[in-house]
Amino acid sequence: MKKLQIVGLVLFLAGISAFTLIPFLGTYELDFEKVQQQTKEIHQGKMGDILQPMFGKEFPSSFSFLSEFNTHFNSYNDQLKSEQKWDEVIWEDYRFPLAKAALSSPVKNSPWLYFGLSIGLMVLGGLLYNLPKYQEEPAGIKHNGIFHSAMKNRGWLGILTGSYLILFYIILYWFPAYLVNLVWMVDPLSQVLSGNSASQWFLYGLIYTLAILVMGIRMFRKYKGNAYQQLRTASVMFFQTAFAFLIPEILVLLNQPYFDFKNIWPLDYDFFYDYQIETFLSSGGVGLFMLIWGIMLILIAVPVFTYFYGKRWYCSWVCGCGGLAETVGDPYRQLSDKSLKSWKIERYLVHGVLALAVVMTLLTIANYFSGFSLLGNVTNQLHSFYGFAIGSAFAGVVGTGFYPFMGNRVWCRFGCPLAAYLGIVQRFKSRFRITTNGGQCISCGNCSTYCEMGIDVRWYAQRGQNIVRSSCVGCGVCSAVCPRGVLKLENGPEEGRINDLPISIGNDSIKLNA
């Protein structure tokens, strides 16, 4: 390993260590004024009375602060629930804003310093580790030693990495109050971009974007000489940075709704929720444009673009989930399960999530236009269940945390409802296919090994059959790693996608069916 790469690795490890330790810095002290500022007007008096025993006390850690907060707050709510006074229960979760306001730490006083010592060092370390390789290595895809790697083949480093990611996602989604130091660290940047204080979601969006950018550099190095791979890597880097991170923040700065123009229902599952519709309609022409734009993407863009280019136009070129999978998750792509059992589970799960999203959305729209709650409280319960089980646990904790265990497209294969929608169109009404030349296949298995979607590509290649699968995201890696040029991504005439062109064997000509 080159000296510069060693320096990069050391800097990255130092940065991630600092990032892990920063949440433990500082003390917490709450007073009446902070409670009044961070709670809704209707709850200010009640919250002041509930938390009065905490005023004037200094808590040495977030654990002690939140433990006492939960004791007082839960005691108040539990008593009301036991008395059936449901309208007086405080349902809002004030732990994060109050913990952020109560914090006194060096991070809050010097956010840029700690940003540089954590996220800054991670970015610098990642770049130093990757850039020298990009300059020195000859063109050609390298997978040397990948199945002997403790990081890339479910070894102890991979298990440690996956566990760290899972823990981070659990805290981010359900216990963000423990991350207030990290949120204060990125607060100045949030103020510049949107004019608002940072939240845990701004922190996450920033880390997410930087991860794609840094690991995108790695992809440029890995696929040096492959124009298709480099172009689609540049595409996901651009769409994540501009459309998913910067533009929504700038919209907020301009007093417009926060909106990701590339996010499409049903992946954007709350697009038709009441509060979203009200936000669009109350924001004038810009809000109305956002609503129409979102509907046009669902009804027109998805079927039209998928007809001409397959689902790759979105899953491999635009989507943020796909962007993270293709960059950060790329070292784990060979871990995807190619078994028949896995494929059967995949079909039931991903289409089941799509069906659930459709039912939930139909109920939501019906409630909005009918003016009454259809099926009682079922819709709200569906919202809560879907947000917890699919939007958080599946897409976040499992979808990313399981990279080192199950490959980089766990969410895309088994859970993404938009991938299911795109896949249905691709399978039955699209010009996209991967063509094969069976006479050239040497059965090396590279294509199947590195298919992130768990497709046994070799099975098709050996038979000279076109690959037309609803799960294929058209990443093109199977073609890139083929030593014989057997596989080719094409957008040809719709007819003939399944039944391949005749293959000559001696003086005879045969046609193979998919």
**Eight-class DSSP state of 39:** S
Query: Phi-psi region for residue 40, left (φ > 0), alpha (ψ -120 to 50) or beta?
Result: beta
CA distance 213 to 445: 30
pLDDT category at 239 given cuts 50, 70, 90 is very high
Residues facing residue 509 across a β-bridge: 504
Residue-level length of the chain: 514
Mean pLDDT of 148-162: 95
pLDDT category at 500 given cuts 50, 70, 90 is very low
Mean pLDDT of 127-144: 74
* Residue 495, Cβ density class (10 Å: 0-12 exposed, 13-18 middle, ≥19 buried): exposed
pLDDT category at 383 given cuts 50, 70, 90 is very high
Mean pLDDT of 391-409: 96
Residue intervals of the chain classified under CATH 3.30.70.20 are 432-510
Q: What is the pLDDT of residue 494?
A: 78
Cβ count within 10 A of residue 224: 18
Residue corresponding to tokens 């301009």:
254
Q: What is the pLDDT of residue 132?
A: 65
Collapse the DSSP code of 40 into the 3-class scheme (helix H, G, I; strand E, B; otherwise coil) and give the result.
coil
pLDDT category at 478 given cuts 50, 70, 90 is very high
Residue 166 or 510, more confident: 166
pLDDT category at 141 given cuts 50, 70, 90 is confident
Q: What is the pLDDT of residue 371?
A: 67
* Residue 85, Cβ density class (10 Å: 0-12 exposed, 13-18 middle, ≥19 buried): exposed
Residue 396 or 4, more confident: 396
Q: What is the pLDDT of residue 373?
A: 65
Residue type, 82: S
Q: Which of 190-204, 296-310, 496-510 has the lowest mean pLDDT?
A: 496-510
State what percent of residues in the chain have pLDDT above 90. Answer: 84
Buried b (16+ CB within 10 A) or exposed e, 464-492: bbbbbbbbbbbbbbbbbbbeeebbebeee
Mean pLDDT of 448-473: 94
CATH hierarchy code of domain 432-510: 3.30.70.20
pLDDT category at 135 given cuts 50, 70, 90 is low
Quick check: 248 pLDDT over 90? yes
Q: What is the pLDDT of residue 454?
A: 95
CA distance 171 to 91: 20
Q: Are 251 and 259 in contact (CB under 8 A)?
A: yes
Q: What is the pLDDT of residue 208?
A: 98
CA distance 459 to 446: 12
CA distance 278 to 287: 9
| CA end-to-end distance (rounded Å), the chain | 46
Quick check: 505 pLDDT over 60? no
pLDDT category at 506 given cuts 50, 70, 90 is very low
Q: What is the pLDDT of residue 143?
A: 85
Q: What is the pLDDT of residue 372?
A: 65
Collapse the DSSP code of 367 into the 3-class scheme (helix H, G, I; strand E, B; otherwise coil) and give the result.
helix
Q: Are 297 and 420 in contact (CB under 8 A)?
A: no
Q: What is the pLDDT of residue 511?
A: 43
Q: Are 395 and 415 in contact (CB under 8 A)?
A: yes
Query: Phi-psi region for residue 26, left (φ > 0), alpha (ψ -120 to 50) or beta?
Result: left
Closest CA to 452 of 474, 436, 484, 422: 474
Quick check: 476 pLDDT over 50? yes
The DSSP H or E segment spanning 111 is helix 111-115
Q: What is the pLDDT of residue 499?
A: 52
Token pair for residue 427? 């399978």
Q: What is the pLDDT of residue 235?
A: 97
pLDDT, averaged across the chain: 92
Q: What is the pLDDT of residue 11?
A: 96
Phi, psi for 16 (deg, rounded to 5): -70, -30
Q: What is the pLDDT of residue 504?
A: 39
Who contacts 16 (Cβ-Cβ below 8 Å, separation ≥6)?
Answer: 118, 122
Tell me: the pLDDT tens digits for 337-366?
999 999 999 999 999 999 999 999 999 998
Mean pLDDT of 259-272: 96
pLDDT category at 492 given cuts 50, 70, 90 is confident
Token pair for residue 150? 């403790």
* Residue 292, Cβ density class (10 Å: 0-12 exposed, 13-18 middle, ≥19 buried): exposed
Q: What is the pLDDT of residue 380?
A: 86
pLDDT category at 106 given cuts 50, 70, 90 is very high
Q: Are 475 and 447 in contact (CB under 8 A)?
A: no
How many angstroms separate the Cα of 512 from the Cα of each of 408, 444, 462, 507? 32, 21, 11, 16
Q: What is the pLDDT of residue 133?
A: 57
Q: What is the pLDDT of residue 137?
A: 61
Give the predicted TM-score (pTM) of the model: 0.93
Residue corresponding to tokens 């690795």:
9
Token pair for residue 227? 């124009």
CA distance 418 to 315: 9
Tell me: the pLDDT tens digits for 282-329?
999 999 999 999 999 999 999 999 999 999 999 999 999 999 999 999
Q: What is the pLDDT of residue 509?
A: 41
CA distance 451 to 476: 9
The answer, yes or no, to whether the previous bond of 176 is cis (omega within 30 of 0) is no
Q: Are 390 and 358 in contact (CB under 8 A)?
A: no
Q: Are 310 and 491 in contact (CB under 8 A)?
A: yes
Residue type, 26: G
